[in-house]
Amino acid sequence: MTRRGRTVRAVAVPVVAAALVVPLLTAGTKAPDRPANSLQAQFAAAADRYDVPEELLLGVSYLQSRWDAHQGAASVSGGFGPMHLTDARAALAASRPRDHAGTQDARGDAARPPRVAGEATGGQAKKAPKRLPARLRTLERAAELTGLSHEALRSSTGANVQGGAALLADAQRRLGHPLSADPADWYEAVAAFPGGGKGDPSATAFADDVFDAMRQGERRTTDTGETVTLEASPKLRAPAAADRSRPSHGKAECPRNVDCEWYPAPYEKFTDSSGEEDYGNHDRTRRPRSQKIDYIVIHDTEEVYERTLDLVTDPTYVSWQYTLRSSDGHIAQHVRNKDAAWHAGNWYVNSKSIGLEHEGFLTEPDAWFTESMYRSSARLVKYLAKRYDIPLDRQHVLGHDNVPATTTSGIKGMHTDPGPYWDWEHYFALLGKPFTPKGGPKSGVVTIRPSYDDNEPVFTGCESAGEPCRAHGSSAIRLHQAPDASSPLVNDVGLRPDGSPATTGVNDTGARATAGQQYAVADRKGEWTAIWYLGRKAWFRNPSSRPVAVPARGTLVEPREGRDEIPVYGRAYPEAEAYPDGVPVQALSPLPYKVAAGQRYVAGLRTPGEYLYAVEYDPEAEHFQVVRGKQKYYQIQLGHRVAFVKAEDVRLVR
């Protein structure tokens, strides 16, 4: 099968599943313009067979999977197929061991011993319970209702869609409602679909998203190359929608249009393995009064949701403000936004950021960053951005993989999540800030914007070192040393001091730019564009017929006249004279990169040097200090990660 001129690999399925496809596809009535074997026809057939409105079935599936089949791979929540039917035991049985540990010091504060995430002494994984919650075994119920095998429901899209339709019809009957042709009558059944129950806040949030999708309409080409359409129904309303009250979320700091709970991280003392007294797992401060919050940092958990909660509630581990669940976008808050969590590996960023962990694995694109999670996350980020006056752009909404190391020695240990499979363009569209062209064709600034579904750079190392990952859409583009696809990738001297080029490794960020990042144009040759990147020209193919970057506008920095080159830093700390007695001076440690005369980089925020000194257990937040200096910095898009330059070293070019 071909898609937009590219070959899409067929996926082998067991004979039992293949044998089911024909009867599943021929059941029910299909519109005459639908190919009999299309996914769209499968939705129509299942809707007809189980008396479920077709648009409702499409809406539920879109929120679960965006209609992708994921080649039979399970989601991180154990879900399979377009309807995300969950079979957690089967998913766990097929999973391979993963290591969330890294060499990164999650605090990134030189005034304290490193707190490396992988060195937790507690938070051991719990044994799987004998009876899993309903949300993790919907495939089992679908098998009972349809008579189809578990294997068929996992591997055949036709069977999977039928299973989802059967679950919706079953929920409607259990609620005592008729199998109406009007989608508005199915609100409570949709709310119950992910395994929730009537009145469950997470279920209500999910149902609202499904109804939003039906009102707006959606059209998308799936991972198998099929185009599926959900026609818009702008007049659709859920019954008494205006009268439904939202949960208060208790102590959690969340918008009212998401499901959110307070699940606190511990702030307590403990004795470590060497007998020394320590505390965890965050610091008490008084933001934004004490320090402005400038960043929101997007992570993925590299763990399943339940294990993630085990870890964040371990005082010997590290912390972040929020965790988002893949299956339904449910949010748990762990650390108050006024406090500094230990998550980014850079103490300057930690002290001025809020960290969001998303259930998923960066090396497994089909561990699924679900639409439910994207939408819930976007609502949370919009709420935080408004509350703390944080601009919604890629200089302030950072991936963990965009956070710089604090020193040269820490560069290799920095984490690389959420990785190349996080859909930044879609995420910012949900934020209401899509990456649109804002300049002419010869603009000196570009915004990276590949088409996620069409952009499939080869990555390696998802399963084993050097082995290609499965072809998949990506937000990332590769950067070469010359305007030639056969030329080596650019070098990141921090990762490879010997000058060797970057690799195609899924965790190698040394020659990578991602959607939404902005760079200064260095050169153009035919279909190729060069940007300034880590102190050199970096080339990418950018044909006008299928561009991967669009014109932009912005403020650039370049070395001040008379300077051959200037240093760059991984943190914006004050000058030595600013530190009071009792607070150790933090060295201004340059990174191994240089900005040379003639080079330009896009500038982000302008900020004074600041250092948060909080090194002792302080429940009342009375003894921390914020050191501020006269030294000013500009944040710049240096490479895949951001960096800082002193304001006195540069001049601005608008």
For the stretch 299-351, pLDDT in tens is: 999 888 888 999 999 999 999 999 999 888 999 999 999 999 999 999 999 99
Choosing from 551, 583, 600, the residue where a domain stops is 551
Judgement on whether residues 478 and 521 belong to the same structural domain of the protein: yes
Judgement on whether residues 543 and 616 belong to the same structural domain of the protein: no
**E strands along 147-230, which residues?**
218-221, 227-230
> Residue 359, Cβ neighbours under 10 Å: how many?
28
3-state secondary structure of 48: helix
Structure tokens at 75: 């989601």
How many structural domains are present in the chain?
Answer: 3
Structure tokens at 110: 């030189």
305 part of a folded domain: no
> Residue 576, Cβ neighbours under 10 Å: how many?
12
Judgement on whether residues 141 and 225 belong to the same structural domain of the protein: yes
289 part of a folded domain: no
- Least confident piece of the model among 276-285, 365-374, 446-455, 498-507: 365-374
pLDDT, residue 126, reads 39
Angstrom distance (rounded) from CA 477 to CA 502: 13
3-state secondary structure of 481: coil
> Residue 625, Cβ neighbours under 10 Å: how many?
15
pLDDT at 195 exceeding the cut of 90 = no
Judgement on whether residues 36 and 148 belong to the same structural domain of the protein: yes
Amino acid identity of residue 195, one-letter, is G
38 part of a folded domain: yes
Is the link from the previous residue into 418 a cis peptide, with omega within 30 of 0? Answer: yes
Judgement on whether residues 533 and 517 belong to the same structural domain of the protein: yes
260 part of a folded domain: no
269 part of a folded domain: no
Judgement on whether residues 460 and 593 belong to the same structural domain of the protein: no
**Residue 30 CB contacts under 8 Å (≥ 6 apart), including other chains:** 36, 41, 44, 45
Structure tokens at 602: 């896009």
Judgement on whether residues 488 and 632 belong to the same structural domain of the protein: no
Tally the C-alpha atoms within 13 A of residue 608's C-alpha that lie toward its C-beta.
Answer: 11
Judgement on whether residues 497 and 569 belong to the same structural domain of the protein: no
> Residue 101, Cβ neighbours under 10 Å: how many?
12
pLDDT, residue 368, reads 75
Judgement on whether residues 574 and 636 belong to the same structural domain of the protein: yes
What are residue 297's DSSP bridge partners? 355, 398
**Residue 581 CB contacts under 8 Å (≥ 6 apart), including other chains:** none
pLDDT at 104 exceeding the cut of 50 = yes
3-state secondary structure of 310: helix
206 part of a folded domain: yes
The answer to whether 548 and 448 have CB atoms below 8 angstroms apart is yes
Angstrom distance (rounded) from CA 514 to CA 453: 14
How, if at all, do strands 518-525 and 528-533 pair? Answer: antiparallel
pLDDT at 124 exceeding the cut of 60 = no
Cα 367 to Cα 59, 378, 468: the distances in Å are: 21, 19, 17
What are 241-266's pLDDT values in tens digits?
Answer: 434 555 567 789 999 889 899 999 99
Is the pLDDT higher at 207 or at 90?
207
3-state secondary structure of 460: strand
339 part of a folded domain: no
**How much of the chain, in percent, has pLDDT values that exceed 90?**
72
Q: Which domain covers residue 30, as residue numbers?
A: 2-87+137-242
What are residue 606's DSSP bridge partners? 634
Closest CA to 234 of 217, 220, 219: 217
Q: What is the mean pLDDT of residues 115-123?
A: 49
Task: Please state, rounded to an integer, the average pLDDT across all residues of the chain.
Answer: 88
What are 575-615's pLDDT values in tens digits?
Answer: 999 999 999 999 999 999 999 999 999 999 999 999 999 99
pLDDT at 208 exceeding the cut of 50 = yes
> Residue 233, Cβ neighbours under 10 Å: how many?
18
The per-residue DSSP string of 380-422 comes to HHHHHHHHHT--SSTTTEEEGGGSPPSSGGGGGG---TT-TTS
Judgement on whether residues 496 and 636 belong to the same structural domain of the protein: no
**E strands along 217-376, which residues?**
218-221, 227-230, 260-262, 268-271, 277-280, 282-283, 295-300, 322-324, 331-333, 340-341, 353-358
474 part of a folded domain: yes
Q: How far is CA 543 from the centre of its chain?
A: 28
Closest CA to 104 of 85, 119, 82, 125: 119
> Residue 8, Cβ neighbours under 10 Å: how many?
14
DSSP 644: E
**E strands along 69-194, which residues?**
79-80, 85-86
Q: Which residues of 401-439 are buried (b: 16+ CB within 10 A; e: fewer)?
A: bbbbbbbbebbeebbbbbbbbbbbbbbbebbebebebee
pLDDT, residue 484, reads 97
Judgement on whether residues 146 and 57 belong to the same structural domain of the protein: yes
Judgement on whether residues 486 and 623 belong to the same structural domain of the protein: no
3-state secondary structure of 376: helix
Choosing from 551, 585, 606, the residue where a domain stops is 551
Angstrom distance (rounded) from CA 582 to CA 650: 33
Choosing from 242, 267, 293, the residue where a domain stops is 242
How, if at all, do strands 2-3 and 6-7 pair? Answer: antiparallel
Closest CA to 506 of 551, 545, 547, 474: 474
Please provide residue 147's backbone torsions phi and psi, each rounded to the nearest 5 degrees.
Answer: 80, 5
Q: What is the CATH number of the domain that holds 237?
A: 1.10.530.10
Radius of gyration of the chain, Cα coordinates, nearest whole angstrom: 25
pLDDT at 162 exceeding the cut of 80 = yes
pLDDT at 9 exceeding the cut of 50 = no
